[in-house]
Amino acid sequence: MDSFGEVFAASAPAKVNLHLGVGEARADGYHDLVTVFQAVDQLDDVKLVVEAHTATEGSVVNAIYTNLLMDIEVAEDLDTPSNLAWRAVDAAVNAFWAEHPGAALPRIRIEVTKSIFVAGGMAGGSADAAAALVAANAYLERFGGSALSDDRILEIAKTLGADVPFALMGGNALGTGRGDELVEMLGRGEYWWLFINPGTSISTGKAFALLDDMRHDNPALVPHLDTTAVAQALTSGNPAQLGAALHNDLQPAALKMRPQITRIMALAEAAGGRPIVSGSGPTIAVLCDDEQHAKRAYYAINPHLSEGMDILLAKGPAEGATLL
């Protein structure tokens, strides 16, 4: 087959929650969220590489290969069919086959190059899924003769995870519901961040469960669902104003689960940064005044980090998933 080795590639950004308000637990176990996302230019890349044989049903994916560009201890195996990139491709192809029964498509190998922390509260898995959806749609247009609509891709994204729609969208956005009902937010300027991972991970589900338990014991841990301060700060373009408005309801749970985060946040504050736990953690996002401040803070903090910890510099807002 002359298409053997043909590549469809896309990238998608990490995110930071400028505000994360967590409502009380619902009867179904989920929580209503009110969050403000910002995409940052730390990207994961996904490639779909065409193989020589074809499929008309089931999965078109033969294998997945993950290259991890950081020294992070990962509990889960990323190189399996449970990987969100694999699931995203299967979901897109199954949606295509529902519209075009029996269509023959060449099998593919997925290659994921990860530079976003794994299970670090930066939606790295969601970025992989979003990039895979964009690449899969280009693959379907090439070999199936028809791409899925933007609305259908968004529907699929919501089934894959609450953060996947934002990884598709990028920029700044208000998320409600599970965080997947999005409205673009206006903003001015660019924002420079350091992201520090303490060399471990946090289960998102366990973080939410611990927050519920802590709220039973501490009435002060009420949901913060008002995003006015962050919205005003974004339109001002002033990093100091945004830094003062940053908030994360899950931060107390993350600090309890990973006490070493407290020391890292103190290092960031000593360097003049404004730290906040990113999402469910354990990554600490440090907002800086500008690029030069971010670089100075990087070199001030890095020597004090223990082996296995990683630090990244990135800026936002960044665009969403993009075909390469």
* Active site (catalytic) residues: 15, 163
Query: What dihedral angle (degrees, nearest 10) is formed by the CA atoms of 135, 17, 176, 160?
Result: 30
CA distance 173 to 320: 11
At 190, is the secondary structure helix, strand, or coil? coil
191-197 sheet: strands from edge to edge:
274-277, 284-288, 191-197, 310-316
DSSP for 207-227, written as a single string? HHHHHHHHHHH-TT-------
Neighbours of 186 (CB within 10 A): 9
Distance CA 115, CA 86 (A): 18
The one-letter amino acid at 240: A
Does an H or E element contain 284, and which?
strand 284-288
Q: Assess whether the previous peptide bond of 106 is cis (omega < 30° from 0).
A: no
Element (H, E) at 57: none
CA distance 21 to 291: 28
Please report where in the chains the tokens 């002060």 appear, as a residue. 220
User: CA dihedral defined by 11, 75, 197, 30, rounded to 10 degrees?
Assistant: 80
| CA 211/CA 10 separation, integer angstroms | 35
